[in-house]
Amino acid sequence: MRPPYAPVIESLPATTPFVGPEALSRRTGRDIELRLGANESQFGPSPHAVAAMNKQASRAQNYGDPECFLLRSELSHQLNVGIGNVSIGAGIDELLGLCCRLYVQPATPIVTTIGSYPTFDYVASACGAEFHRVPYAREALDLDALVDIACRVDARILYVANPDYPSGSWHSPERIVELRRRMPQNCVLLLDEAYSDFAPATPALDPSDPQVIRLRTFSKVHGMAGMRVGYSVGHEDPIKALDKIRLHFGVNSVAQAGALASLKDPSHVAFVVAENERGRVELTEFFATFGLRTLPSYTNFVTVDVGSKLRAEAILARLWERGVFIRKPGLPPLDGCIRVTIGRPEQRARFADIFRSILQSD
């Protein structure tokens, strides 16, 4: 007989927030031709980052700097904050888990959006959080309802992804500032800004505010999803508290070297943003030729309304039969949509050919 697990863990279902394309390939025996479902940058990392990672790989026998000092120093310089305002983690996913460990105990009330980034629900559930979920409003986050419920239940965490995943919607800096102004006193705003580089603007960083922790990543515009590097920015007190519980060797030396080099190559970021915008316009126009509406997107993916959940599932299945990996939102009102990562021009052309053949054969 096995020893009992902690009660919170015993109560959790066996689930994962995402099924990876590798698992789908193993399960079905199909090879992937177009990998357009995980919002990885198809434009890759900066060549300078690749060179730095290759160089650092020859020193893989050594532990990486547990303080991530050089990376934190460069981030603090570029963000105009103190180095004590920045913490590094293995992507936003790990940072979300650390923040939940910091603030959440069993039955702690937290507020999020139904159908938004599922990893937050996954890590908060492991802490025993009491969820209060708000539906989307016209396919975007309902900031007013989120803060209203946060005040009503005296929430400990209010989670907001801006730009949002999987809708692609975005709220202006002024709206985020207003949201923060209305929050209850003991509530922390976890502001997930994974896609912020693709948005028109982001709220000004205010490291003096202990009720806001901002989360960013090198997985999207920097093209380093496989290296697992993210960072949090906030008041020194919660950042120091995160240091008490983070895995100090969690971000390896190769990842640190690549992230640092990428920060010093703003031209690559500008290139990716420009190519992404070009691809977004191209895909929006392409889907319109089939009478399909594309939701406004401020990310590196487009979410397309195909009319119903059943049709979205059928399109997903038929694309997978052709070796095309995309995803779809799982819950209403977005469950009648598919979501496609914006790829390189040749990938977009190939996707268009396959998608067209599927719809024309209906």
**Selecting from 3.40.630.30, 3.90.1150.10, 3.20.20.150, 2.60.40.1080, what CATH number does the domain 7-44+267-360 have?**
3.90.1150.10
pLDDT at 13: 81
Rounded-to-integer distance, Cα 34 and Cα 37, Å? 9
Q: Which helix (H) or strand (E) holds 119?
A: helix 118-125
Rounded-to-integer distance, Cα 36 and Cα 350, Å? 12
DSSP-derived secondary structure for 61-77? TSPP-TT-HHHHHHHHH
pLDDT at 211: 97
pLDDT at 12: 80
Q: 47 is written with which tokens?
A: 């060549």
pLDDT at 202: 84
**pLDDT tens-digit profile of 271-292?**
999 999 999 999 999 999 999 9
Verdict on whether the full-model pTM lies above 0.85: yes
Average pLDDT on 86-104 reads: 97
Rounded-to-integer distance, Cα 201 and Cα 181, Å? 19
Q: Which has more confidence, 360 or 328?
A: 328
Per the DSSP assignment, residues forming a β-bridge with 232 are 87, 215
Q: How confident is the model at residue 226 (pLDDT cuts 50, 70, 90)?
A: very high
Q: Which helix (H) or strand (E) holds 147?
A: helix 143-153
Rounded-to-integer distance, Cα 151 and Cα 186, Å? 10
Q: Is the pLDDT of residue 361 over 90?
A: no
Q: Which has more confidence, 352 or 207?
A: 352
Sequence ranges of the domains in the chain:
7-44+267-360, 48-264
Average pLDDT on 175-198 reads: 96
Q: Which of 362, 179, 345, 328 minimizes the C-alpha distance to 276?
A: 345
Rounded-to-integer distance, Cα 294 and Cα 291, Å? 10
Residue the block writes with tokens 């240091």 = 243
pLDDT at 74: 98
138: DSSP letter: T
**Selecting from 3.40.190.10, 1.20.272.10, 3.40.50.720, 3.40.640.10, what CATH number does the domain 48-264 have?**
3.40.640.10
Per the DSSP assignment, residues forming a β-bridge with 97 are none
Q: Cis link prior to 4 (omega < 30° from 0)? A: no
pLDDT at 89: 97
Q: How confident is the model at residue 1 (pLDDT cuts 50, 70, 90)?
A: confident
- CA 169 distance to own-chain centroid: 13
Q: Taking all residues of the chain, what is their mean pLDDT, rounded to a whole number?
A: 95
Q: 196 is written with which tokens?
A: 């912020």
User: Would you mind telling me the total number of residues written for the chain in this entry?
Assistant: 362
pLDDT at 143: 98
pLDDT at 21: 86
Q: Which has more confidence, 179 or 17?
A: 179
Q: How confident is the model at residue 18 (pLDDT cuts 50, 70, 90)?
A: confident
48-264 has the same fold as 7-44+267-360? no
* R_g of the chain, CA atoms, integer Å: 21
Burial group, residue 214, by CB count within 10 angstroms (0-12, 13-18, 19+): buried
Q: Which amino acid, 7?
A: P
**pLDDT tens-digit profile of 111-135?**
999 999 999 999 999 999 999 999 9
Q: Is the pLDDT of residue 354 over 80?
A: yes
Q: Are 93 and 123 in contact (CB under 8 A)?
A: yes
